[in-house]
Structure 1
Amino acid sequence: MNKTFPAIDKASGPTTAIDDLSFEVDGHVFVSVVGPSGCGKSTLLNIVSGIDVPSSGSVTVAEGDRPARLGYVFQDPRLLPWRTVMQNMLYVLEGTGPEARELARRYLELVGLEDAGDRFPAQLSGGMQQRVGIARAFSVEPDLLLMDEPFSHLDAITARGLREQLQEIWVRTKKTVLFVTHDVMEAVQLSDRIIVLATGGRLYDDITIDLPRPRRASDTAVATAQAQVLQRFESMQEEVERTRGNARVSATG
C-alpha cells in the first residue's frame, strides 16, 4: 500500500506518507505502530478507518461474511459538550433502550465512571473525558479498535493510570487493537506486537512482545523488553541519519 499527497505549491514535490507498506493483523491481538513524527502513523489509521484512501493498494478489514465494525479513540476525547456522559455513550450505540443503557453502563464501569453518567464533559477532568472516549469506543463492540495516541495530551501520572486501565479492559475483552504511539515504552507495555515505521512510511521492523499480563512499567521483564525495543528504534533513527548524510554528500559532491 502507498499513500502520496500532492505538492502544496510549485516549489515542492509530492509527499510520500506511506511507502510499499504491507502487513496483516490477526484477531484478538494488541498491535502498536510506532515511528518518528511524520512517518505516516496517523495516515495509516485514517486509511484503515476509511477516512482516507490509499494512492495504490488496499486495506481489507473483514469479520466473516459481514462488514467489520470499527471503533476509534482519538488524541482528544471528542465528546459532544451539550450531552451528558450517558448521552454521549448512547449516541454511538444508536439507541436509548434498556439494552443500550446497560451496555453503556457496563463499559463506563470498566473505566471507573459508572457514577458519572449524568455529568457533562465540562464537569470532567481531561483524563476522565478520555476514559469516556475509551469506554465509548469499546461499547460498540468493534471487530477492530483504532487508537491514535490517546494518552499524548495527558500528564504522565494520568497516562500511566489509563495505560493500566486499558490493559485490564483489553484482557477482559480481547478486542483486536491497532494502537498508534510515539512512545516505545508505552508500546511495549501494552502490545503483543509492535510495527516500527521509518520516515517515509516504510516498514522497518516487526517485533513480537511475548510477556505475561498484566504488565506494569516497573516489572523487570517489561523494562528489559523496553530497553531492547528502544535500542532497535534508535538504530533505525541512526540509519536514517546516515542515509540523509550520504544523500547530502552525493548532492554536493
Structure 2
Amino acid sequence: MSNLRLALPSSGALFEGTSKLFSDCGMGIRRANSRRYTADIPQFPGVDVLFQRQSDITTQIDSGSADIGIVGLDRFYESRLERGESVLIHGDLGFGNSKLVIAVPDAWLDVTSMADLADIALEFRSKGRDLRIASKYQRLVKRFLNQNDVNYVSMVYVSGGLEAAPVIGYAEVIADITATGTTLRENDLRILLDGTVMESQSVMIGNARTLANDQNKLQHIRQILEKIDATLLASDNHRVSARVEGHSEDKMAPQPKKQREFIGSYKRLIENIKPFSEPVQNQ
C-alpha cells in the first residue's frame, strides 16, 4: 500500500500560499530545510510531499509520477494533456489570484483592443513580417488569438523577463501572468481592454486513474479536502465567498449558495474520476 504523493510548488507565491493554507488547516508541512525537496505532514503519515517547479507539476500528475498537486489554473490548462489523466480536484484554494493578459507598448496609442491588434498584425503581414508575441503560455495565447481573429503572428517562447521583450527587440507584444499589473506599467506596457486571456488562481489537481483505483489514496484526499473546505468556508477573506458582481446588499445575497456548492469538492472529484475506474479482476 503506497503513500499518496503530493506535489507542491517549491518556491514563489504559490509555495507561500500553500504553506499558509496547510498550516491554517492544521496540516503543517514538515520540511527539514528550504533546499530539501521532500517533506511530510505529521498529521497524515500516509502522505509524501514532493516540492517541484510549478511548471513541472501538471506533467508529473499526467504521467503518474505524483498523485495530486497544487498549481495555478493557468499552468494546468497550459500544460495538461488533451486526453490525459489529470483532473481538477479543487477549483479555488483561495490564493494566487492573477490574470493572463495581452500587453502592448504604451507608445502604441491607437491599439487598445484585440481588434486593433488584429489590424496591426495585418499591417505587419503586408510588410512581409509577422507580429511577434512573447509568452511562456503558447497554447493558451494562440487559442485566444485565434478566437479574436488575430492572425499572422509568430509566438516567441520566453520563460521569464517578458516585460523587456519590446525594448530588447525580440517581440513587439507580450502575454504574461499578472496579479496587479504594476510590473507591466513600470515597463511602459499596457493591457488591452479586452486582452484578458483567462483569470487564474491556485487549484488542486490529481491523476484520475490512480485515484479511481486506489481507495487508500482516495481516503487521504477526502480527509485533506474536508479540512481545506472547512477552513476556506470559515474564512471571511476567501475569494469564492467574497466575489460578487456588485457591492449592493442584493448582489451579495447569493453568497451562501456559492458556499454550499463549494463544500462539495470531494463529491465532484468522485464524479470526475468515475470514467477511469478499472473493473476488479476475479481471482
TM-score normalised by the shorter chain: which range applies?
A: under 0.3
Choose between structure 1 and 2: higher strand proportion.
Answer: 2
* Structure index of larger Rg: 2
Larger RCO (alpha carbons 8 Å, 6+ apart): 1
